[in-house]
Amino acid sequence: MADIKNLNPVEIWRNFDKLTQVPRPSGHLEKIQAYLLDWAKEAGVEGIVNVSFIISENGIVSAIKIKNSKDKNMEAEVLRVVNSMGKWKPGLSKNKPCKSMVEIPVVFKL
């Protein structure tokens, strides 16, 4: 299963300043999780892809990087999905939007 829904944000979100609120995707993580689960089943792959990216003060995703992955197809699909997520709700520091780094381990398990 591609499990990104039940991760503890305190463990996976890192930031440049101390955040009072972590960045959040505007879309539904359940739909993304279900899509990645179906994709992994079709592709017959398992593993973890660690992806990091920057969320700007305006919620724009940039600087997407795969930190580690053992499968180029899983890596490509994670990059495609992150690129297609659109704007995020930015992180807040002292109640003001701020630039933040997000790191998410995407787990593909059959």
Cβ proximity of 103 and 17 under 8 Å: no
Structure tokens, 67: 């930190």
Give the pLDDT confidence score for residue 3 in this predicted structure: 44
Cβ proximity of 13 and 69 under 8 Å: no
Cβ proximity of 4 and 33 under 8 Å: yes
Give the pLDDT confidence score for residue 13 in this predicted structure: 47
Cα-based torsion angle of the residue sequence 86, 60, 89, 99 in order, rounded to the nearest 10 degrees: 160
For residue 39, the 8-state DSSP code is H
pLDDT, mean of each 10-residue run, the chain (110 residues): 43 55 81 85 92 92 91 93 90 88 86
